[in-house]
Structure formats: C-alpha cells, structure tokens
Structure 1
Amino acid sequence: MDTIIELDCVSFSYQYDDTGEDTLKEVSLKISKGEWLAIIGPNGSGKSTLVKTFNGILPVRSGRVLVDGEVLSDETVWEIRKKLGMVFQNPENQFVGATVGDDVAFGLENHGVPRDEMIHRVEKALETVEMKEFIDREPSSLSGGQKQRVAIAGILALKPQVLVLDESTSMLDPRAREEIMDTIRYIKEKTGMTVISITHNIDEAAEASRIIIMEEGRIIDEGDSRHIFSKGEQLIDLGLDVPFAERLKKELKVQNIQVPDDYMTKKELRDWLWTLNSKM
C-alpha cells in the first residue's frame, strides 16, 4: 500500500523545555494511504507534538518528514498543508465565521476557490456531517458535538488527503462523542480518507486499523487492536485504560465466569455472551 506520511528519525525539542531532552526522539513511522491510525500514550508522551510535525506546525530538529512522497521544507510546506486537515480539542478555537456556512467557507476563500464551487463544497461538507440544516445558524448556538462536526466540515470542504483528529472528542459528553465517531466512520467508508486520531479514549482507538503507543517521545509498540489490547496490564501501568469489552471480561472473571483469554471486540463479546446464555 502507498505511503502518505513518512517520518525518518525525527527529533524535536521545545526550546523552553528545562529538562534539555527532546520531546520526540528519533521517531520513524510510515502511514499508509487510506489507513486509520490511532496514537495513544500517557500525557506528555509526545502524541500531539508528533502530528504537528506532519505539516510543519512544529519544525523538526533533525530527521525528515515526507508527505505524499514530498520532503517537508520551507519551499513545500504550504502545498503539504493543503494535504492535511487538522481538527483540535476545542472547535471554538477554529471558528471565524458569523454563520456555520461562513465558517466552513473560510478556508476555501483563503484558497481562492471560485464562488460557485465554494457553495457546492460547503453544502456537500455540511451534508456529509449531517449539519446542512444549520448552515445559517451562529456557531455559538450549537452544542459541543455540533460545533465539532462543523469544524470537521470545514476541513472536508478543503478536500485534504489526511484528516488528523487531535483529541477532538475529549471535551464532549458520551453521546456527542459517539456522534463524532459515527461521522468519522461514515467519512472513512465514503471517501477512504486517511485518518489519524490522537485519543485518550481507548474505545475510540479500538476503531482504528492500527494503533501506536508512545511514551517519553518514542513509539514503544504498534499493531492492530488485538495486539495492543492483549497487553492489558502494560497499558494500565502506562496510565491508560483498556476497552470496555476487556473491562467487562475482567468483571465476569470475578464472578467466576470463564471467558476467552484472547482480545475480543464489543461485538465479539456480545456474540459470545449470547451463545453462552443460549446454552444455560
């Protein structure tokens, strides 16, 4: 599969870091086109710093960043930024328009997109995130989940190759969080877009096709959900959680119910419990 983002021995340091240590330490990583990659790790492990090197928000101290085969540099940074769209924790920090429609159109105006095409892209993006009926509403009148969906629409309208979600559901309640996840699933299914999500929510991370764990500026493990979440105790030692299905299995064991040792998704555990119940 083609590579969309590649990091080659990338290191980065904040100048105001009193420790004198690099925040990122010779990180090498390849992300494939169409992949859904989740990045997890304890606070301060370098997750957000990592993704901000992808488009030059944070310039690397050493190593190389390549996006779609092009080396990130002062000469290429603006073209590369067109290929990556980033959604952050607080959508209000990204709002600049008086209405939802104006806000989604803002980036298109900066890119000089013709008006007719701009109108089409704005409506299409809002339709994708199920917010088209709110096109004339003030962003401040929306709920947290609706604001985040508008922020995502503003990125989708620019037609990037990669959607980066930096803790984009961390400020939302469970219902709004699930709405955003439904939106991301739909976007992935419809467009095949590459998605990179930084999250502390392990159930969200379980949606990804690949997960990497960061600690102290390094990638310490990577793999699919089964590989990562089979390391339950190690995750807990890092201050991370385990998915709901694994937590439920642990409680079932406390009740002396023998459950499979292998990692199970929520659907797999539900099906197993249904089969168990039918035998009782």
Structure 2
Amino acid sequence: MGRSKKTEIVKTESSKNVSKSKTIAVELRNINFSYDDCTKTLNDVSFKIYENEYVCVIGHNGSGKSTISKILVGLLQPISGDIEIFGVPITYETVKYLRNNVGIIFQNPDSQFIGLTTEDDIAFGLENKKIDPNAMKEIIDNVASIIEIQDLLKKDSLALSGGQKQRVAIASVLATNPKIMIFDESTSMLDPRGKKELKDMILKLRNEAKKTIISITHDMDEVLNADKVIILEKGQVKLIGKPSEVFVDEKKLQNMALDFPFALKLSKMLKETNTIKNLTIDIDNLVEQICKK
C-alpha cells in the first residue's frame, strides 16, 4: 500500500517508566452497527490493539463481541466510524488489504472445511491467493509443523476429532500468513483437553509466529493468558485493561453477569478462611501462597 505503519508513544510499566514506540495493529474509532436499523448492536465502540498483542474480548451474550469480529474481517460494514489496520483506513477500496492481513477462526471448524483432506483444506486458501503450486508444499509442511498436524495431512476431514479440526482451521488461516488472527469463540465446542491445547497454540502463535491475536471468548481462564482484556456490555466498551486490572472490580463484573477465573474464585475462598493473605488471578502465585502457609 506504500503507507507506513501507525505508531504511538506508550509508557511501559518498568520502574523507570520508559517510553517506547509501539505499532498500532487495529484501531476502531466510534464504531456503530445495527442489524435492524432500530437497536444498536455496537454503540460508539473505540479501542486500540498493538502489534503482537494478545487481546481477549469478553462480554455477556448479545454484548456485540462476535459482531466486532465480523466487522474486523469485512463480513459486516459499520453504519459509522473508522477502522484502521496498521494505519491503513479500511474502505471499499482497501478491503483487500484488510483480508490479506486479518484471518479468522470460527466457533465451528466444520464451517471452514473445503477440501476432502487436511492438506487440500490448507491448500485452498493458497490457491485463492494464486500462490505458486511449487511453493505450496513447503508452506503446507511448514504450517503443519507449527500447528503439529503433520500426521493429519492425508486424513479425511470426517475422520478428525473436534480438536484436530480446530487445528486444521488454524493451519488453513496461518498458511495465508495474516498479521492478525481472530479466534471467535474457538474453544466453546471443545472438551477440556482440546481447550487447553488451543490455548497453548494461541500463545505459541503470539510468541513464536509473532501474530497479533484477538480472541472473542467466554472462557475466563483463557483471559488470564491475555495481555489485555476488552469488556463489552450492550454494545459498549465498559472496561479495558490487563487481566489483573479488570478483575479487581468484582461488583462491576457481577453486574455485567460475567464469571470469574477459577484461580480468583479459589483465591477468594482461601483468603476468607485466612489460608492466604492476598487475592490473585495467578495460579502459580496462589500455589506459592498456600505452600508458605
């Protein structure tokens, strides 16, 4: 596009409070959206997400979480407001730039399967981008290695478990190499083991593949891994901050009908019985306090 990335000066949390420049990956300004022209699903929503940040968007059903994900990938168009991806304003003319830089993994992986086999499915997105067939094999093998599905490449999609299908869906998106990956309720249909594997994979994509991650989720324990949390209520942003910041206001979260992470629930019970001294959302810190008792 020939445009430089948008950056801004932010303060770190070090003792010296040193300023440094961070690239803004996603910026929404005053976004409004309605499905029926009567009730606003999103009402003046604004926030920023920085490059290589892992952000969880949470809220009760009907809060507008999934609507945001669909707007961010161009499936829905807001009534008003501005969207920028790496400093590029998203318009009809730049929607291709949006789709080249943002990929989404949906709640139900079956909705993303196109090919008969895992390998065919990963290749589909590459074919749409007109990638040289000679380069496809290397790309497919590379993403299969990252997602750890090398043994699934020749398997029929109908023979895969829910967790395996979700991994293939991630690989299909990763193969097109978007800078931003959105997970829309991607853990909701998985068993506990599948949820843990997916959470670990999201961290791997952020830490090793250097992707910017946006996770739309109800899973409060997933939120603990995030760099930042955005809480929505009735289409409006109510809280933005680190997990350790947003879970401090217990009354406000209860009023929004939100659950709490297991570590915080257990921490509160143990503090009430004087087993530990300090409330925490960090399970390692909780164990350390119990062991010191």
TM-score range with shorter-chain normalisation? over 0.9
Q: Is the contact between residue 103 and residue 180 of structure 2 (CA under 8 Å) also seen in structure 1?
A: yes
Partner-residue secondary structure (3-state), 2:190 = coil
Q: Is the contact between residue 271 and residue 277 of structure 2 (CA under 8 Å) also seen in structure 1?
A: no
Say what the alpha-carbon RMSD is for the aligned residues: 1.3
Partner-residue secondary structure (3-state), 2:230 = strand
Partner-residue secondary structure (3-state), 1:124 = helix
- Residue 135 (structure 1) aligned to one of 153, 156, 161: 153
Mapping of residues 141-156 of structure 1, within 5 Å: 141-156=159-174
User: How far apart, in 2, do the equivalents of 1:125 and 1:235 lie?
Assistant: 38
Cross-structure match for 2:19:
none
Q: List gaps (5 residues or longer) in structure 2.
A: 1-21
Partner-residue secondary structure (3-state), 1:168 = coil
Deviation at 1:11, TM superposition (A): 0.5
Matched, 1:85 2:103: yes
Mapping of residues 3-42 of structure 1, within 5 Å: 3-15=24-36, 20-42=38-60
- Residue 123 (structure 1) aligned to one of 141, 152, 155: 141
Q: Is the contact between residue 53 and residue 65 of structure 1 (CA under 8 Å) also seen in structure 2?
A: no
Q: How many residues align?
A: 272
TM (norm. structure 2) is 0.90
Cross-structure match for 2:113:
95
User: How far apart, in 2, do the equivalents of 1:263 and 1:174 lie?
Assistant: 23
Partner-residue secondary structure (3-state), 1:140 = helix
User: How far apart, in 1, do the equivalents of 2:112 and 2:253 lie?
Assistant: 33
User: How far apart, in 2, do the equivalents of 1:114 and 1:71 lie?
Assistant: 30
Q: Is the contact between residue 188 and residue 194 of structure 1 (CA under 8 Å) also seen in structure 2?
A: yes
One-letter amino acid of the structure 2 residue matched with residue 5 of structure 1: V
Mapping of residues 1-280 of structure 1, within 5 Å: 1-15=22-36, 20-253=38-271, 256-276=273-293
User: How far apart, in 2, do the equivalents of 1:224 and 1:263 lie?
Assistant: 13
Q: Is the contact between residue 271 and residue 279 of structure 2 (CA under 8 Å) also seen in structure 1?
A: no
The percent of aligned pairs where both chains have the same amino acid is 39
Partner-residue secondary structure (3-state), 1:25 = strand
Deviation at 1:127, TM superposition (A): 1.0
User: How far apart, in 2, do the equivalents of 1:67 and 1:242 lie?
Assistant: 32
Question: Cα deviations across residues 184-213 of structure 1 (Å, max 9, x unaligned)?
Answer: 111212122100001100000111000010
Deviation at 1:140, TM superposition (A): 1.2
